[in-house]
Structure 1
Amino acid sequence: MKRYFSSYWIRSGFYSVLQRFSLTVFGLVNFIILTRVLSTAEMGTWALFLTVTSVFEATKSGLLKNAHVKYVSGTDDLRERISVASSSFMINALITLLFIIFIVFFSDWMSIKLHAGKELSATLYWFIPGLICMVFFSHFEATQQSHLDFKGVLLGYIVRQGLFFGFLGFHFFIGRPFTLSNLATYLSISILAGSVVLYVYSKKYIKHYFRPDKASVKKIFGYGGYIFGSGVMSNIFSNVDQVMTAAFISNSAVAFYSTASKINGLVDIPSYAAADIIFPKISKASSDKDSGDKVKYLYERMVGILLSFTLPAAIFIIIFPKFLITIIAGAKYVEAAPILQLYMITGLMRPMQNQAANLLNSIGKPSLCFVINTGSLFVNLVISYICLKQFGFYGAAIATLIAGGIGFIIWYFVMKKEIELKLSNIVKYVFATYKDIYVNALNLYREKGLQFWH
């Protein structure tokens, strides 16, 4: 086992995939409980709350985490590491403060526009302590990853998700009802606990000096500015279906889209875990003499590996959508089956697009990524508006598939120009992955003294 974990790819891959898996599985189990306790209207409001807060955190992370990881891992100068980390924390806190001000002054207006009454704004108010805790949680997470250490991140997320699950499970099994405000409070407490765990594992990398400077701030915005903007566009793009469904159809309709999104998230686990692992490697490879071939190989190989996992899962879900929805959310959400099927078809195109965006950021071309994501968002908004008007309830899901197909074509030609991408290589790596899995499984049986053939 030590021999396998001596590899960066195996070690970081294990922790990162497990972290993503635990995040999604806990989220799914929590979702199963909530669908059996809350009404569809309350589920719709909770889904909108998660959309608003996750878009904020994801876009903030796009600005800070990649720059933090790149500049701390790329230097041995202790003063520069302290300066970058301090500047990153300061920007993190200031952006969070701005978001809290937005909640105080504009959340009531937003809640009404999304047909959520005042429940959405009230839930956001109760989550303000959680937003403050997220400043520390995300900073410690970036600190861990900038030192190529993923173990503490895994444990921090497990504690955060496990504690929230514990709160929900307690209410569920004793039959005590809870409000959306209760959920926001429990989520805040869980993030605080996760931050403490992350600090314990990160303190060996933290020098406990706060020395931000203008040079580091400029460096972070210079590198992360486009990534931040790109992240804003990308995350809004990913949630346009739920937001526009709330605005054009109803708050309750969002619950059905949220159901499909939760199941869809299981298929995306490898893709997002791969982004955390491959980013430092591509950043280093792009600075080598033969960077072109290395970056091309890393991209094609990673997309091939991701598709080898995504393909069978997507096919199964497309064939049995009602079965999965009934198990996870209950029979009252089976209307989400066509939405889930359309999401799964779109999901087969996501590994290439997600890794392409990550690659452009890694090789120092975040401005190109920003332009593509901005254009994609505009196209998605237009298509979503047209489809919601024409098809009603399922319009946003149809729009997601159409916009995803257009995005896939755009990203293909961009990658063909940037790294001379060949789809045939990706297909080759898909089959190579299946072969590797078979060979490694066979070897594992032999190492344990078991006979594969009797």
Structure 2
Amino acid sequence: MEVKSKDHYWIKSGIINVLQNFSGVFFGFAGFYILVRVLSKQDFGVWTLFMSATTILEAIRSGLIQNALVKYLSSAEKSEHPVIISASTVISILVTGVSIIAIIAFAPYLSSVWESPQLINLLYIYILVFACSGILTQFNAVEQANLKFNGIFINNLIRQSSFFGFVLVCYLADFQVKLVYLVWVQLCSVAVSTIVAYGFVRENLKFSFSMDKPWLGKLFGYGKYSFGTSVSSLLSGTVDQMMLGALLSPAASGAFNIAVRITNLIDIPGNAIAVVVFPQSSRRMEEEGKGAIKYLYEKSVGTTLALVLPGVLFLYFFSDFVIHFIAGEKYVDSIPLLHVTLLYCLLIPYGRQFGTILDSIGKTRVTFLVVVGTTVINLGLNYLLIVKYGVMGAAYATLISNVVGFIVAQAILKREVDVSLWNTIIYLFRFYPEFFEKYIIPVWKRRQGRVDHSQK
């Protein structure tokens, strides 16, 4: 009975998170598909830089708050939940306040560096979005910690589909899309999503009016490394676009962003599996020890690779067609960029699950140092190679830094939980016959049985 319950959790949670990530990538990609057609190369580049900056701000708060809250709520007694949630909320309010001050202070500087005067206004309006999304982040973390994902899926769907809906209507009605309108739509969508999220989480959202300093210390102590990891990881993925905007032009940043967005399409399984693995690995570490963590890492990486490999091969061999179909003739320079970004896509599952597993066993400081080191290497290589090779230099720099990070991460995982790189390859190739045997054959037999029955 317990085994069936665990299987039910993995199947249900996995399906919900795959759907959530698919919907996120789909709506994000569909919106991007329209934006590259209705915006000039300059405006699209400015929007890319704006999204890079605001995504980092969200990652700063999420890194400090979300993983720590999920970890401790998922493993603590119910009686401690109000104290943990209250302490986390205090930290969230403080981080949000500091981040808003940073936006006000640095918006003019970023606008000057990227030669984008309209960026100041966009960032100032985004302050309202950021304040509202902080509440939403808390609600989603509490729900995830309680191993529930329905509300997260629905409120994310609302947030993403409403933004896409606005862009689509503007495109069909031939209405001029201004960047400032897009930020106001973000505010409306996140406000509605927050209200919906509250309806799902209110039963588990309990606060304590007495402040517990030990829990504040615990959450911040764990969160500071998780925060550093999240921000460094995100910087590693966006620093190339930011440096292209500063060293070349916003248009160059936009061209590189197209290759990155296409590769994001095949990263849906990795995101979904990471969300499911994290709360489970925290519990299983407490109950079963490092042996269970080793299996979780190898199995999750192998499964993710099996799911992304067909997409990588398709995009690599049909990249010309894909770029022309998605972005049009004016972004033909994104084709060689896509070839390089696809190569490091195969390393992403290893890196993502490395962070998930080490965070769950309390080694957040190690994850932090690895990611920071990789980001520093990426930053240095981007500067050197962009100056020498232009836009392609950004792709080469990111590929090299990902290879270095992969080698270091595997050495650490071997030492900590004795993972085997070879086992991930075994699980990769086992996935296809197992999937066929467990899901395709039973469906075929049921259909065959219905056919035989109807003939009788």
Residue 20 of structure 2: aligned partner: 19
Within 5 A, what are the aligned runs for 1:286-435? 286-288=285-287, 290-435=288-433
Share of identical aligned residues, percent?
34
Matching of residue 101 in structure 1 with residue 66 in structure 2: no
Residue 59 of structure 1: aligned partner: 60
C-alpha distance in structure 1 between counterparts of 2:281 and 2:6, whole Å = 21
Residue 188 of structure 1: aligned partner: 187
Taking a change above 3 Å as real, the CA distance of residues 443 and 211 of structure 1, as seen in their structure-2 partners, is farther
Taking a change above 3 Å as real, the CA distance of residues 214 and 397 of structure 1, as seen in their structure-2 partners, is same
C-alpha distance in structure 1 between counterparts of 2:210 and 2:236, whole Å = 36
C-alpha distance in structure 2 between counterparts of 1:6 and 1:374, whole Å = 36
Shift of 1:84: 1.1
Shift of 1:282: 1.2
Q: Which amino acid aligns with 1:13?
A: G
Deviation sequence 1:62-115 (CA, Å, 0-9, x none): 22111111211212242x211111221222122122121112122011121123
Q: Alignment partner of 2:204: what SS?
A: coil
Residue 42 of structure 1: aligned partner: 43
C-alpha distance in structure 1 between counterparts of 2:137 and 2:7, whole Å = 27
Shift of 1:246: 0.7
Most deviating of 308-317 and 210-219: 210-219
Q: Which amino acid aligns with 2:423?
A: N
Contact (CA 8 Å) 2:306, 2:428: kept in 1 or not? yes
Shift of 1:222: 1.4
Contact (CA 8 Å) 2:256, 2:391: kept in 1 or not? no
Deviation sequence 1:154-213 (CA, Å, 0-9, x none): 000111111111211221111111211100000111111111111111112123655543
Residue 138 of structure 1: aligned partner: 137
C-alpha distance in structure 2 between counterparts of 1:326 and 1:10, whole Å = 37
TM-score normalised by L of structure 2: 0.95
Shift of 1:450: 6.0
Deviation sequence 1:97-156 (CA, Å, 0-9, x none): 2121112122011121123x2122211112221111101111110011011000110000
Within 5 A, what are the aligned runs for 1:108-187? 108-115=108-115, 117-187=116-186
C-alpha distance in structure 2 between counterparts of 1:273 and 1:77, whole Å = 26
C-alpha distance in structure 2 between counterparts of 1:338 and 1:411, whole Å = 28
Q: Alignment partner of 1:207: what SS?
A: coil
Residue 72 of structure 1: aligned partner: 73
C-alpha distance in structure 2 between counterparts of 1:394 and 1:110, whole Å = 24
Shift of 1:447: 2.8
Contact (CA 8 Å) 1:49, 1:124: kept in 2 or not? yes
Q: Which amino acid aligns with 2:44?
A: M
Q: Which amino acid aligns with 2:95?
A: I
Residue 90 of structure 1: aligned partner: 90
Most deviating of 347-356 and 435-444: 435-444
C-alpha distance in structure 2 between counterparts of 1:243 and 1:10, whole Å = 39
C-alpha distance in structure 1 between counterparts of 2:204 and 2:419, whole Å = 38
Most deviating of 217-226 and 148-157: 217-226
Shift of 1:451: 8.1
Matching of residue 31 in structure 1 with residue 41 in structure 2: no
Deviation sequence 1:266-296 (CA, Å, 0-9, x none): 11111111111001111122223x5222111
Q: Alignment partner of 2:239: what SS?
A: helix
Contact (CA 8 Å) 2:347, 2:402: kept in 1 or not? yes
C-alpha distance in structure 1 between counterparts of 2:429 and 2:113, whole Å = 48
Q: Which amino acid aligns with 2:181?
A: N
C-alpha distance in structure 2 between counterparts of 1:307 and 1:128, whole Å = 38
Q: Which residues of structure 2 form unaligned runs of 5+?
A: none
Contact (CA 8 Å) 2:27, 2:164: kept in 1 or not? yes
Taking a change above 3 Å as real, the CA distance of residues 275 and 6 of structure 1, as seen in their structure-2 partners, is closer
Taking a change above 3 Å as real, the CA distance of residues 380 and 6 of structure 1, as seen in their structure-2 partners, is closer
C-alpha distance in structure 2 between counterparts of 1:336 and 1:96, whole Å = 36
Residue 272 of structure 1: aligned partner: 271
Most deviating of 341-350 and 209-218: 209-218
Taking a change above 3 Å as real, the CA distance of residues 452 and 41 of structure 1, as seen in their structure-2 partners, is farther
Contact (CA 8 Å) 1:137, 1:194: kept in 2 or not? yes
C-alpha distance in structure 2 between counterparts of 1:243 and 1:452, whole Å = 59
Shift of 1:216: 1.8
C-alpha distance in structure 2 between counterparts of 1:97 and 1:322, whole Å = 46
Q: Alignment partner of 1:421: what SS?
A: coil
C-alpha distance in structure 1 between counterparts of 2:20 and 2:268, whole Å = 9
Q: Which residues of structure 1 form unaligned runs of 5+?
A: none
